[in-house]
Structure 1
């Protein structure tokens, strides 16, 4: 398979980066601070001896208000994706797909966290091999979350957090207008300051426009190529002029799984 050899030569240790880590005894307000101040959606959680036990998602962390300062992390830990340093990228991708996470935590033989491998980093490499099967319609999410361009960003962002959505599609009536992602919000200082004061700026001042979309009958490999080329984590799916879904990197990974 084209690119398969290069893919299999890459191991977790080659793609590993430093990731935030907390313990089960830390407070949820600490997790909230880490996840609000960083680009990560997830933070690795260890037990008091430093062994990996799972992760905290940004959705749970942001639901905990400052008034609940005594809530511990241990009650919110989710089962995550963990791999060994010598795990190949296909194994990492499978672990991420099954856990539904944005990263796989790399641990040693004793479960100690060494670092993490981000889906965004391995995704372009995974897409170089001919292992994607099916159409966009096979793996898209139906009934995608939408908002209007004149809605207040604060309200839309609150819905993102509440529904654990990474992006909203912006529709002006029945017309696709743009896309607003959680990454766009968190990476823009002006927007974050607006959120802290109520988030009353309109979505249209932050959204990415024009939106890059794909037809539902296209091959899933075409969606993967578009994501890599434009550094996108999700793409609106159209049936002609009608919005019918959204596909993200995890959907593409399901296409990889179908081949295997």
Structure 2
């Protein structure tokens, strides 16, 4: 299986001299998490994702995409999907532009870990439970935390989503970068390093922007079923709960790594 078989063709793109406020609208309106950045000649010069957009602390006009876009791994349509998956993992990126060739920098498409998950042979995966690969040190937010504080922590730690719990430790939902962009809230004020600290000011509460319900699986769920859940719900990470308590989280990187360690991409 090669990249050209599963990549998204004709992706939405932006230009280097486009305004960041425009890029934010394009991401939000097209329900995307990243955009290839093209120069005046149509060559791909970088990729801009929702983390880059959220780094903007205001709606200042005049800030262009150039300078915010970052590097991406070289992936071409004729590359084996296994190699593309390894490039995504090594670069810690969930998606990347696909170039026509190493010399032709024009765009052929986009490849993401979700595209790969849609095409894995789940029956070939190792018989593992998510308890063996999940992250048990999960950063959470309370439903009455201020959006500005959670936003700041997501930026600092480069999290794409944080589970939301009640003060009785009951899982309630999740707040993601997409939630923040769709809500249009701007980061204001100062904060401490503690996610659960309160912040004075007019920042709205997390419960106003979080996604519900919280999709979750148990710790005994198989890795293949976890991948199925991500695909079915079109989400980037899934919480692990036992007896209505959050015990861990499984993200796309850990699941993609399991795919690379098996024959499910062959």
Tell me if both proteins adopt one fold, taking TM over 0.5 as the criterion: yes
Instruction: Give the match's secondary structure for 1:19.
Output: coil
**8 Å contact from structure 1 (residues 140, 245) kept in 2:** yes
Summarize the Cα distance change of 1:159–1:50 in structure 2 as closer, same or farther, 3 Å threshold.
same
Summarize the Cα distance change of 1:15–1:210 in structure 2 as closer, same or farther, 3 Å threshold.
closer
Structure 1 residue 253 and structure 2 residue 256: aligned?
yes
**8 Å contact from structure 1 (residues 32, 64) kept in 2:** no
Q: Distance in 2 between matches of 1:181 and 1:17?
A: 30
Instruction: Give the match's secondary structure for 1:55.
Output: strand
- Larger proportion of helix: 1
Pick from 216, 232, 235 the counterpart of residue 232 of structure 1: 235
Aligned to 1:42: 34
Aligned to 2:213: 209
Pick from 117, 120, 123 the counterpart of residue 111 of structure 2: 117
Summarize the Cα distance change of 1:49–1:133 in structure 2 as closer, same or farther, 3 Å threshold.
farther
Pick from 138, 161, 167 the counterpart of residue 161 of structure 2: 167
Offset at residue 252 of structure 1 (A): 0.1
CA offsets, 1:150-200, max 9 Å, x none? 334555345434533222212223533232242762696xxx26x379663
Aligned to 2:11: 19
Offset at residue 105 of structure 1 (A): 1.3
Aligned to 1:93: 85
Give the TM-score normalised by the residue count of structure 2.
0.73
**8 Å contact from structure 2 (residues 48, 70) kept in 1:** yes
Q: Distance in 1 between matches of 2:59 and 2:119?
A: 44
Q: Distance in 1 between matches of 2:161 and 2:65?
A: 26
Offset at residue 39 of structure 1 (A): 1.7
Instruction: Give the match's secondary structure for 1:75.
Output: coil
Higher mean Cα deviation, 129-138 or 244-253?
129-138
Q: Which runs of 5+ in 1 are unaligned?
A: 1-7
Aligned to 1:5: none
Q: Which runs of 5+ in 2 are unaligned?
A: 188-201
Q: Distance in 1 between matches of 2:118 and 2:177?
A: 18
Summarize the Cα distance change of 1:66–1:227 in structure 2 as closer, same or farther, 3 Å threshold.
closer
Offset at residue 223 of structure 1 (A): 1.9
Structure 1 residue 102 and structure 2 residue 114: aligned?
no
Q: Distance in 2 between matches of 1:165 and 1:53?
A: 24
**8 Å contact from structure 1 (residues 29, 65) kept in 2:** no
What is the count of residue pairs matched by the alignment? 247
**8 Å contact from structure 1 (residues 36, 186) kept in 2:** no
